[in-house]
Amino acid sequence: MPIENMKDNTGGFSPAARIDAHIKKKRSFFRSTFIVFLGMLLSRFLGMLRDMVTASFFGASANGVLDAFVAAFRLPDIARKLFGDGSLSVSFIPVFSKVYHQDRQKARKLLTAVLTIIFVVLCFLIFISEIICFIGFSYFEQSNKVSLVSYYFAILLPFIILVGMVAITSAALQTAGHFTFPAFISAVLNVIWIFALLFAAPRLTSDPAAQGCVLAVSIVLAGLLQLFLLLWRLKQLGFKPEFHFKEIMPELKTVFAVFFPQLFGLMSVPLMLLSATVLAWLFSGPAGTTSLITGNLFLFPLRSGAVSALYFSERLFEFPQGLIGLVLMTVIYPLLSKHAAQKDFKQFGKDLSMGIRILLIFSIPAGIGLMMFANRLAHLLFQRGQFTAEDTARTADMIFWFGIGVWAFCALPIMIRAFYLFDDIRTPFLTGLFSVGFHFVLALVLIHTVKEKGLALSISISAILQFCLLFFLFAKKHGHIDFRGILLCMIRSFAAGVFMFIATAAIMKTLPGNDSLSDISHIGLGGGIGLLVYFSVLKILGGDELSKSKRRGL
C-alpha cells in the first residue's frame, strides 16, 4: 500500500470492532518488536563471525595491515553509529514521525530534504578528505603506515555518505511501520565482508595490503546495495522525491538544531573510541622504533597491533551494552516519555531509579564475566589463522579493562535520554564534551605507563565519570531520584559479584584444557554456576528489584 494512502480506518466503528482493531494493533506491535529483535540478533551473530574471519585472515600485528584498515574504518563506523543509532536518528525520527502522521506529501519533502543535505554536505567533506588522503599516500613512502591508512581511507570515504542515507531511509521505513528491511539490512554488510575475505581477496591477490583494498571496495559495494534495497522498498510503498523544501524549513531547522548539541551526549563513548584509535595508531610501531610524533626523542610507547586489539576488545563489550542497555531502553523509555508528557515528575524519578537498579543487577555480573573470561573469550573467538597467542593476550588485557566500565556503558544512554525528555540538551552535551576531553588526556598519560591497556582503562573511567556527573546533575535539577535504593542495589550487586567471582574461579580451576572445547566448558559451566550464585546471594541480601519491577509493569 502506498505511504500516502495509509490511513486510520477505526474511526466510527462499533466498540467490538474497535477492540478487534486494538488487538490487531497489539499483535502488529509484538510482530514488529520480534522482527527488530531477530534482525539485531542476526546482526550481532554475523558481526561476531565477521570479526572472527577478519582476525584469522589478517592477524593483529603480523604486518600492520589490520591496524591500518581498522584505523581507516573507524570513522565510517562512527558515522554509522552517529546516523543510525546516535544523534541524527534521535533528532530526525520524532520530527519525521509527527509530519508523517499529519501530511504524507510534506513527509516526503522532509525525507528528500534530509537525504539531499546529507549527500551534499558529506560529498563536500569527503572531497576535502580525499585530497588529504592523496597527500598522505603521495608524500609518504608506500611502506609507511600513513600511506597505507590513506589508501584504505580514500577507498572507504564514500561509504560514509551511504551510511548516512541508509540510516535515514531505514528510520523513514520504521516510522511508516515497515520494519523488515531496516531490521535485516545490516546483515548485507556482514555477509559481503565475510565473502570478500573468504573468497574474493585470496583469489585476486596474495599481498595482505592489496587484500585490504579488496575488503575496502567490498564494504563500499555493500553500502550501495543496502541503499538500493531500502530505496527500492520506499518506491514500492509509493515514495517519490519531492524537491520543494520551502514548506518544511521549520522542521529541517528543528532536526539539525537538535542534532549538533546531541553529538557529544549520545556519541561520547564512540568518540572516545575514535580518539583511542587515533592515539593507538599514532603512538604504535614495531618494537624499538621511534615515534611518528616525537621523532628520535622517544620510542613508540605502543607496539604494532594496538589498534586491532582495541577493535576486537571493543566488539566484545558492545555485546552486553547492546543487549542489556537496548532491551531496558525499549521497555522503560515509553514509560518515562509518558510521565514527562504528563509532568508526573515523581513517578518519572521512581521509574528511572528502578530502571537504573535493574540495569545494575544485570550489567555488573556481565562486566565481571568479561573480566574473568577475557582470555577464554579472546582465545575461543579470535586465535586461529594469522591471529597469534600474543595477539590473544593483548586483546584479552583490553577486554579485562573494558569490563570495569560495562555498567556505565549500559546506563549512559538511559541517563542521557532522561535529560532529553526534559528538553535539556545542554547538560549531556557539556558532560559528554568534558568526558571525551578527560579521556584523551588520561589516555595520553596511561599509554606511557600501562601501555595499550591504558586506552581501555581511560574509556571505562571516563564513561563512569560521565554517568556520575549526569546522575547527580539530574538529581539536582529534577529531583525524585532514589539515592538510597540505587546505592544499596549497587552494594548488593557488587557483594553478590564477589561470591560470583569466587564460585566461577573455583569451577575454572577444576576444569582442564586450553583448547576451544575447554573454552566453551569454562565459559558455559563457570559462567552458569557463577550467575546462579550471583542471583542467589543477591536474593539473600534483599535484592527485590525484579519483583518490584513486575508489579510496576516494567
DSSP secondary structure string for all residues of 276-299: HHHHHHHTEESTTPBPTTTTTSSB
Identify the top-confidence range among 12-26, 146-160, 247-261: 146-160
* Cβ–Cβ < 8 Å for 4, 238: yes
**Grid coordinates in use for 546?**
525484579
Structure confidence at residue 267 as a pLDDT band (50, 70, 90) = confident
The reported pLDDT for the residue numbered 502 is 95
The reported pLDDT for the residue numbered 294 is 47
177 vs 231, more confident = 231
Other C-beta atoms closer than 10 Å to the C-beta of 264 total: 21
> What does the pLDDT look like over 428-475, one tens digit per residue?
989 999 999 999 999 999 998 898 999 999 999 999 999 999 999 999
CA distance 527 to 320: 14
* Cβ–Cβ < 8 Å for 58, 258: no
DSSP secondary structure string for all residues of 45-87: HHHHHHHHHHHHHH-SSSSSHHHHHHHHHHHHHHHHIIIIISH
| Angle 9-15-18 from CA coordinates, rounded to 5° | 35
Q: Which residue in this structure is represented by grid cell 603480523?
A: 62
Identify the top-confidence range among 18-27, 35-44, 68-77: 68-77
Torsion sign (Cα): 445, 449, 454, 458: negative
Structure confidence at residue 49 as a pLDDT band (50, 70, 90) = very high
Identify the top-confidence range among 214-218, 248-252, 318-322: 214-218
311 vs 143, more confident = 311
CA distance 448 to 148: 25
pTM as predicted: 0.85
Residues 6+ positions from 553 with CB-CB distance below 8 Å:
335
pLDDT for 489 beyond 50: yes
Rounded alpha-carbon distances, angstroms, from residue 319 to 10, 367, 387: 41, 11, 21
Q: Tell me the pLDDT of the chain averaged across its residues.
A: 84
**Grid coordinates in use for 412?**
549512559
pLDDT for 164 beyond 80: yes
Residues 6+ positions from 514 with CB-CB distance below 8 Å:
379
The reported pLDDT for the residue numbered 336 is 82
Closest CA to 471 of 483, 485, 461: 483
CA distance 525 to 3: 51
Alpha-carbon torsion angle 73, 78, 80, 86, nearest 10: 170
Mean pLDDT of 183-194: 90
CA distance 421 to 334: 11
> What does the pLDDT look like over 293-302, one tens digit per residue?
444 445 678 8
Q: Which residue in this structure is represented by grid cell 597467542?
A: 389
pLDDT for 531 beyond 90: yes
Enclosing H/E stretch for 303: strand 302-303
Other C-beta atoms closer than 10 Å to the C-beta of 368 total: 26
**Grid coordinates in use for 549?**
519491577
Structure confidence at residue 16 as a pLDDT band (50, 70, 90) = very low
Closest CA to 526 of 496, 494, 500, 548: 500
Structure confidence at residue 423 as a pLDDT band (50, 70, 90) = confident
Closest CA to 55 of 382, 365, 504, 370: 382
CA distance 164 to 159: 9
Residues 6+ positions from 412 with CB-CB distance below 8 Å:
268, 269, 463, 466, 467, 470
Q: What's the N-to-C CA distance of the chain in angstroms?
A: 35
CA distance 405 to 401: 8
Residues 6+ positions from 386 with CB-CB distance below 8 Å:
55, 56, 57, 58, 59, 62
The reported pLDDT for the residue numbered 87 is 63
The reported pLDDT for the residue numbered 290 is 57
Mean pLDDT of 107-131: 91
CA distance 57 to 387: 8
Residues 6+ positions from 525 with CB-CB distance below 8 Å:
507, 511
